[in-house]
Amino acid sequence: MIAYILFTCLAILPLLVYLQNPYFLNDCGYAITGFKIGKRLAKIKKKFSSILDSFLDHVATHPHKTFIIFEDSSYTYSQADKESSKVARALSRHAHLKQGDTVALFMANEPQFVFMWLGLAKLGCTVSLLNHNIRSKSLLHCFSCCEAKFLITGADLQGPIEEVLPTLKQDGIRVFILSERCDVDGIETLSDKIQQASDEPLSPELRANITLKSPALYIYTSGTTGLPKAAVVSHDRMWRAGFLQRFAGVRSDDTLYLYLPLYHTAGFIMGLCGAIDHGLTILLRRKFSASNFWNDCRKHNVTVIQYIGEVMRYLCNAPKRDNDKDHKVRLALGNGIRAETWAEFLERFGDICICECYGATEGNVGFINYVGKVGAIGRENFFYKRACPYAFIRYDTEKEEPVRDSRGFCIEVPKGETGLFVGKIGAQTPFSGYAKNKQQTEKKKLRDVFEKGDLYFNSGDLLRVDNEGFIYFQDRIGDTFRWKGENVATTEVADHLITVDFIEEANVYGVKVPGHEGRIGMAALKLKENMDFDSKAAYQHVKHYLPSYARPRFIRIQDTLAVTGTFKQMKVKLAEDGFNPDVITDPLFYLEDNKGYIPMTKEIFNSITEGTLRL
């Protein structure tokens, strides 16, 4: 009898557990991976090793495995090792680079980018990853953030570098180009020097002073305000972000498709570093191409892809084919996919595990949706919260600050309610801040949150947790919006606009467009007295100074720009107004692709909202 009761209890136990939490097994799996990663980190802490060391381990164990496939060439682990040793020797000999030096890389996605970084890592240098789309003033600003004395550029980017060369020369910066010949005074060639260098391994002594806390990279982020900031990525941080692939279940026999820019965290750390951690084969591409995407995957047996939300939509928008499900992709890792696109993607391209993640380059706590729940960016986990404490606090969107109670402390929102996400800053969850920017670093810190003296990282993101513990992204506060996967800092765009001679003031914001993720740029302008809007000059200016994703697509001319009591520009109302010429009586302009600003019409508006005109 007792045996019978016991048996029945045992039999229904799984059912009870399931009814309580249908994701019990996923949660356990996640916790186990977390413990394993914790153990790995402890080992790395005890005896420091970097991602470079992990790469060298793979070179030793499988030298002939393919590391990078790019266009018509491919490189094994051993070849990449030798190439990067040549880079390191050439730079050590001709630029006298040594550990602790910072070097800025201004390159597009190509194997040389990876060899450059590996070579610089072999010398113990910190590498600043410049966005190769930026130009002139922004380029100089980003370069100066990290106090680099050296800049290395790809041969295809000589033009933009020549433009800023006078300033670089003035500051005594040494500039190298990946080319065998260059007649420009102040730019030294590097390819010839690399070719002549020996490929002998370099002594680890050259980087013996590097620790887990040393800066490994600077990655630029728009954050919430102002010009881009250089987030300091320590070796510790690099490991942690690279471990994301472990949480997602990537295996060493996977092939990763890497087309996201290597100057961002997603491409460089989550993609490249994660792949090196596992010793994967990487199919590297210059940039995303919807028409080649699946053919590439088929041709090279790609099993893991990375995404940003926009890319998933481009893939779904491409014409349907019979062989849509004919591929080996089993896992997609990324962020920003909308729930509708998610369902459509699975329906069309088959059973692919979509692993949506959340985190900022400089952020100290992130999430991962390890059960594939459509629409969620992550899932709360008891063990994770113990290791990396965080909270969702009530936020006043009018005053633009967290709500405080009578004692001055923040208030946690109940489940189901949207709150500002903050991560506790501690030994396990450090915040390295921004290079040479104390003010912006301080701005991201929130003090006295739940008790006197505590310290949190303010993500600037509004999230919501549902009753099952799934986390959903709601909104980003402050002055940044996202378009085509890039953060656009409104103040930076405005700074450029007001240098145009007929523009007195500019208020830049993002507007929603039906069928598109994120927001597209729009600017409300106040013109100088007795001056007209010169559409040609405005276009020439934004084209020259801003990457295409940051150019205001719509312009609205106003007599006065509204400000708040504290003289902050009002953006919410303008963003809500949008770009409908029937609603807005102010003069409106639309930026036509490769042409310029033309007056906005009802026809253009309709084509955009109906989706016949793609932005």
Helix or strand run (H / E) with residue 345 = helix 339-349
Backbone φ and ψ for 40, nearest 5 degrees, come out as -60, -45
Partners of 319 in beta bridges: none
Minimum CB separation of residue 100 from ligand NAG in Å reads: 6
> Rounded to the nearest whole angstrom, what is the least distance from the CB of residue 206 to ligand NAG in the complex?
7
Binding mask 265-304 for ligand NAG (x = CB under 6 A): -----------------------------------xx---
What residues are paired with 102 via a beta bridge? Answer: 126
x/- mask, ligand NAG, residues 195-214, rule CB under 6 A, reads --------------x-----
Binding residues for ligand NAG, rule CB under 6 A, total 6
Please give the C-alpha separations between residue 344 and each of 73, 318, 347, 348, in angstroms, as whole numbers.
34, 12, 5, 6
Please identify, using beta-carbon distances, which residue of 209 and 397 lies nearer to ligand NAG: 209
State whether the Cα torsion 538-543-545-549 is positive or negative.
positive
Nearer to ligand NAG, 250 or 462 (CB): 250
- Let me know: does 347 contact 341? Beta carbons within 8 Å: no
Nearest approach, Cβ of residue 580 and ligand NAG (Å): 50
Q: What track of x and - describes contact with ligand NAG for positions 150 through 189 (by CB under 6 A)?
A: ----------------------------------------
Question: With contact defined as beta carbons under 8 Å apart, do 129 and 219 qualify?
Answer: yes
Task: Evaluate the CA torsion angle 333, 339, 341, 342 in order and state its sign.
Answer: positive
Cβ 52 vs Cβ 210: under 8 Å: no
Residue 101 C-beta: closest distance to ligand NAG, Å? 10
Q: For ligand NAG, give the closer residue by CB, 285 or 313.
A: 285
CA distances from 330 to 29, 249, 308, 353, 355 (A): 18, 10, 17, 6, 11
Work out how close the CB of 205 gets to ligand NAG at its nearest, in angstroms, rounded to a whole number.
9
Give min distance, CB of 293 to ligand NAG, in A: 16
- List the one residue out of 263, 232, 275 whose CA is nearest residue 153: 263
Any residues with CB less than 8 A from the CB of 411 and at least 6 apart, and which?
393, 394, 403, 404, 405
Which of 239, 233, 219, 271 shows the shortest CA–CA distance to 48? 239
Buried b (16+ CB within 10 A) or exposed e, 311-342: bbbbbbeeeeeeeeeebebbbbbbbbbbeebb
Least Å from the CB of residue 329 to ligand NAG: 13
Consecutive H or E run containing 82 = helix 77-94
**Would you say 301 or 540 has its CB closer to ligand NAG?**
301
Residue placing its CB nearer to ligand NAG in the complex, 301 or 606:
301
3-class state of residue 262 by DSSP: coil
Q: How far is the CB of 204 from ligand NAG (least distance, A)?
A: 12
Tell me how long the chain is.
615
Q: Binding marks (x or -) toward ligand NAG, 85..104, rule CB under 6 A?
A: -------------xxx----
Q: Which lies closer to ligand NAG via its Cβ, residue 229 or residue 327?
A: 327
Distance CA 276, CA 259 (A): 16
Compute the least distance from the CB of residue 133 to ligand NAG, in Å: 32
Which residue, 198 or 301, has its beta carbon nearer to ligand NAG? Answer: 301
**Which parts of 300-329 interact with ligand NAG (CB under 6 A)?**
300-301
Give me the least distance between CB of 76 and ligand NAG, in Å please. Answer: 14
Within 13 Å of residue 59, how many CA atoms lie on the same side as its CB? 18
Looking at the Cβ atoms of 49 and 99, the one nearer to ligand NAG is 99
Q: Residues 17 to 46: which contact ligand NAG by CB under 6 A? A: none
Closer residue to ligand NAG, CB minimum distance, 89 or 551: 89
| C-alpha distances out from residue 376 to 223, 249, 349, 455, Å | 22, 18, 20, 27
**Residue 475 and residue 491: Cα distance in Å, rounded?**
19
Report, in angstroms and rounded to the nearest whole number, the Rg of the chain calculated over CA atoms.
Answer: 25
Q: Which is nearer to ligand NAG, 253 or 501 (CB)?
A: 253
Contacts of 441 (CB under 8 A, 6+ apart): 431, 433, 434
| DSSP H or E run through 103 | strand 102-106
Of the two residues 252 and 301, which places its CB atom closer to ligand NAG in the complex?
301
**289: amino acid identity, one letter:** S
Report the SS3 class of residue 519.
coil
Residue 208-247 contact track with ligand NAG, rule CB under 6 A, x = bound: -x--------------------------------------
Which is nearer to ligand NAG, 70 or 370 (by Cβ)?
Answer: 70
Q: Is 124 helix (H, G, I), strand (E, B) or coil?
A: coil
Measured from the CB of residue 280, what is the shortest distance to ligand NAG in angstroms? 13
Nearest distance from residue 211's CB to ligand NAG, in Å? 11
CB of 588 to ligand NAG, least distance (A): 52
Q: Closest CB to ligand NAG among 61 and 301?
A: 301
Interacting residues with ligand NAG (CB under 6 A)? 98-100, 209, 300-301
